[in-house]
Structure 1
Amino acid sequence: MKKIIAACLIWLLNGSVFGQTLSSDATISVITCGPYQGELYSAFGHSAFRVVDPEQNIDAVFNYGVFDFDQPHFYLNFARGYLNYKLAAYDYQHFESSYIYHNRFIHAQVLNLTAEQRQKLFEYLRWNMQPGNENYRYDYFYNNCATKIRDVVVTALGKEVTFDGSYVKTDYTIRDLTDIYLKHQPWGDLGIDICLGLPMDKKASPFEYMFLPDYIESGFDHATILQNGVGVPLVKEKYSVYDARAEEAPTGLPHPLYVFSAFALFCIGITVWDFKRKKISTPLDAVLFTVTGLLGLLLFFLWFFTDHAAAAENFNLLWAMPTNAFAALALMRRLPWLRIYFLCIAILSAITLVVWPILPQQLNCALIPIVVAILVRSFAEYRLWKK
């Protein structure tokens, strides 16, 4: 895949016509592609530019959704929040066929630009594609492959373009919008809800809705551009390149709510058994508190030691306490302070369940059984404590 992109990019850069002024028949379109449930990131859809100039034999896609696994320290940078994406230009037909292959709809919006405006936008894209200019710091919600489409148009054309967000009638948070697109990927949705904190729960403005390609499409439908001092629709023509076939929702693992509920019932059953025999099941607690403790350490790391702004102020730390990992280690030696520690964890878990509906951060409901399991097992540890 990367070799094909590289070859197409070289073809574009070396083609003599690519550096010329666009002809009068040239068009620039915004391309919106539908979601694909095969990957987590593809569930939100995709946006790109298409530049067509039949006189100069140009049909290129400008794609801001490209990243390179071979860049130095890729995984370390990814973990720290230094997500470097870049703009790449390549043959549009290759781009289109790959999305049709995965049965993803493709919509095109031909922009209503004068020759001068079209050239400005084209020259900005060419400049942005050059080595040294092509990289940008990716952000899940504020600087991604969709928002770049809007921002590039605004940067290239300035105050000539106006986006009118009055068409947005809903009052969703960023987390609400994310949940809508991940309804077929409950485990991916759960992972996002655990790792990303309070910034996800701010009410999104119409401008902020546009981190999603569908809202880029709607935003451009309701935008205007100045021509000869008069505001005209930014989209001149809109058409469907490919309509996705109806498909059944993908099947996978059982919903996390079912899995965690079964686990909570198991913990309750073991706890009843423990109270009957007056002996604690230490191995179960060692596993439960090790896992939740390690998860808490991850959330703490994401909040304080990375540039993942959306991972800050994470209320999941109410149940995924980093100290649980150390308590699990101390269980092997039955240190005296553990009894009071588990009492505190039981109280905190009970409070968390009571205030769950009114927390400023919307926690995933599938986690309620996990908190119940923590409450039950920490209370058992407190009551059945023996040195």
Structure 2
Amino acid sequence: MKSTLTGLLILVLGFSSTAQVRLSPDAEIRILTCGPYQGELYSAFGHSAIRVTDPVRGFDYIFNYGVFDFNQPNFYLNFARGFLNYQLALSEYSYFRDAYIRDNRYIHEQVLNLNTSEKQEFFNFLQWNIQEENRFYYYDYFYDNCATRVRDALIRTFGDSIQFDGSYITTDYTIRDLTDIYLQEQPWGDLGIDLCLGLPMDTVATPPMYMFLPDYIEQGFNHAYIIRDGQRVPLVKETIVTYDSTPEPDQSSLITPFITFSIALVFGIWLTWKDYKRKKRFRWLDFLLFTITGLVGWLLAGLWFATDHNAAARNLNLLWAIPLYFPVSFWLLKNESPRWVRKFFMFTAGFMIILVFLWALLPQDLHNSLIPFALLLGIRSWRISKPF
């Protein structure tokens, strides 16, 4: 009987735009919060999903807003442009649960305090949302993701009857601060995010903005209410800990960006000293250094001006990753750089020193590990500006 009903549900949810599966009074709808996993960058922030279980009808399903398809047309181009299609997907709860337990990721299940008609109304929305023409959405890191979609599904269903009390938020973290907390064991991933994302990341987060993180979806729902018959009723009836993860050793690498760039700075100082000793510049190393830095600058400029990645706008990392380093770097391969090239590098040398002094005062929180790299750029720029 169960397999028959399961097949029927998939058929209805997958192909029908009008039929609705009816829940029994024993059905429950739960909000699942799954813990972080440090094995991948994208999984370091945790995950949210919706569970609909009905022992009478014989199904137990997960509605998951965090699914994307590598095989979708122009996947990498769309990803680069900020048009990545995510979708709401359906799966068996047991498969979902077992996968997260295998990765030692905790699973908390908040049973929603909905009456029978409210459960059906919310389930009807999910059945509509899972339809082929409705299931896809453009993913946004902070404003439209697998966590915020769970919250917004309830708001779209019940409107102003759902109320979130954000007074439990007592910190004034920015969005960047919140991401840093979850990436303490992934210093290179943290650097990559801080490098590619600009000033919008340094906005002080409001309580609803905290909810781009699954942990804050859980906390937000614990401080949420539904208005029923004129009364405020807690939205969550109870929380069940399905799996409590066990402590794991710190997985962060000892080779951090700060250590790496500090070693590069020391090496650059030594090279500069050798330059003067032998009266000859390391042209190929300078070419590689400034070519790579310039290309990084063009990448950041492209993310800002040529894509829909809103969080990548107004990126002050362009103050050190100056795009003009490339193609000016090609003139560094000559035995004697033209005078205008030396003047260009004289200007950037002074600019880098000023930038380092003003680092902590900038409105964007630039990654501190880049300070030694900016100093390296300044020192080598100064060396290039001097004739042999």
Please give the range of the TM-score, normalised by the shorter of the 2 chains: over 0.9
What's the offset of the Cα at 1:250? 1.3
Give the SS at the match of 2:159: helix
Number of residue pairs matched by the alignment: 377
Give the SS at the match of 2:211: helix
1:14 pairs with 2:15: no
What's the offset of the Cα at 1:278? 2.6
Match of 1:4 in 2: none
Between the aligned partners of 1:316 and 1:10, the Cα distance in structure 2 is 53
The counterpart of 1:372, out of the listed 375, 378, 381, is 375
Match of 2:185 in 1: 184
Give the residue type in structure 2 aligned to 1:94.
Answer: Y
User: Structure 1 runs of 4+ off > 6 angstroms?
Assistant: 8-11
Between the aligned partners of 2:151 and 2:268, the Cα distance in structure 1 is 50
Give the residue type in structure 2 aligned to 1:324.
Answer: Y
Q: 1:310 to 1:9 in 2, by over 3 A?
A: farther
1:356 pairs with 2:353: no
Match of 1:234 in 2: 235
Which whole-Å deviations, capped at 9, do the CAs of 1:227-249 have from their partners, x for residues lacking one? 11100100001110000011101
Give the residue type in structure 2 aligned to 1:375.
Answer: G
The counterpart of 2:347, out of the listed 335, 344, 347, is 344
Match of 2:175 in 1: 174
Match of 2:225 in 1: 224
Which whole-Å deviations, capped at 9, do the CAs of 1:132-187 have from their partners, x for residues lacking one? 11001110000000000110100011111100100001000000000000000000
Between the aligned partners of 2:12 and 2:352, the Cα distance in structure 1 is 64
Give the residue type in structure 2 aligned to 1:297.
Answer: W
Between the aligned partners of 1:215 and 1:309, the Cα distance in structure 2 is 22
Between the aligned partners of 1:309 and 1:11, the Cα distance in structure 2 is 41
How do 1:141-220 residues align onto structure 2 when only pairs under 5 Å count? 141-220=142-221
Give the residue type in structure 1 aligned to 2:193.
Answer: I
CA contact (8 A) 1:9 1:90 kept: no
Match of 1:100 in 2: 101
Between the aligned partners of 1:358 and 1:251, the Cα distance in structure 2 is 29
- Report the TM-score when normalising by structure 1: 0.95
Which whole-Å deviations, capped at 9, do the CAs of 1:264-315 have from their partners, x for residues lacking one? 0000111112123332221221111011000001001000000000000000
Which whole-Å deviations, capped at 9, do the CAs of 1:104-149 have from their partners, x for residues lacking one? 0000000001111111110100100011110011100000000001
What's the offset of the Cα at 1:15? 6.7
How do 1:70-149 residues align onto structure 2 when only pairs under 5 Å count? 70-149=71-150
Between the aligned partners of 1:64 and 1:14, the Cα distance in structure 2 is 19
Between the aligned partners of 2:7 and 2:213, the Cα distance in structure 1 is 30
CA contact (8 A) 1:12 1:89 kept: no
Between the aligned partners of 1:337 and 1:12, the Cα distance in structure 2 is 71
Q: 1:10 to 1:268 in 2, by over 3 A?
A: farther
CA contact (8 A) 1:9 1:89 kept: no
CA contact (8 A) 1:28 1:52 kept: yes
What's the offset of the Cα at 1:14? 2.2
Gaps of 5+ in 1: 1-7
Give the residue type in structure 2 aligned to 1:92.
Answer: Y
CA contact (8 A) 1:114 1:227 kept: no
Give the residue type in structure 2 aligned to 1:14.
Answer: L
Give the SS at the match of 2:44: helix
Give the residue type in structure 1 aligned to 2:288.
Answer: V
Between the aligned partners of 1:197 and 1:319, the Cα distance in structure 2 is 14
Percent identity for Structure 1 against Structure 2 = 53
Give the residue type in structure 1 aligned to 2:53.
Answer: V
Q: What's the RMSD between the two structures over aligned residues? A: 1.5
CA contact (8 A) 2:50 2:62 kept: yes
CA contact (8 A) 2:6 2:59 kept: no
Between the aligned partners of 1:243 and 1:33, the Cα distance in structure 2 is 10
Q: 1:9 to 1:362 in 2, by over 3 A?
A: farther
Between the aligned partners of 2:42 and 2:183, the Cα distance in structure 1 is 10
CA contact (8 A) 1:9 1:88 kept: no
Match of 2:61 in 1: 60
How do 1:273-352 residues align onto structure 2 when only pairs under 5 Å count? 273-333=274-334, 334-352=337-355
Gaps of 5+ in 2: 14-18
Match of 1:5 in 2: none
Structure 1 window deviating more from structure 2 (78-87 vs 252-261): it is: 252-261
Give the residue type in structure 2 aligned to 1:198.
Answer: L
Between the aligned partners of 1:341 and 1:12, the Cα distance in structure 2 is 67
Between the aligned partners of 1:235 and 1:316, the Cα distance in structure 2 is 43
Give the residue type in structure 1 aligned to 2:195.
Answer: I
What's the offset of the Cα at 1:12? 3.8
- Report the TM-score when normalising by structure 2: 0.95
CA contact (8 A) 1:12 1:90 kept: no
Which whole-Å deviations, capped at 9, do the CAs of 1:208-228 have from their partners, x for residues lacking one? 000000000000000000111
Give the SS at the match of 2:146: coil
Give the SS at the match of 2:317: helix
Q: 1:11 to 1:243 in 2, by over 3 A?
A: farther
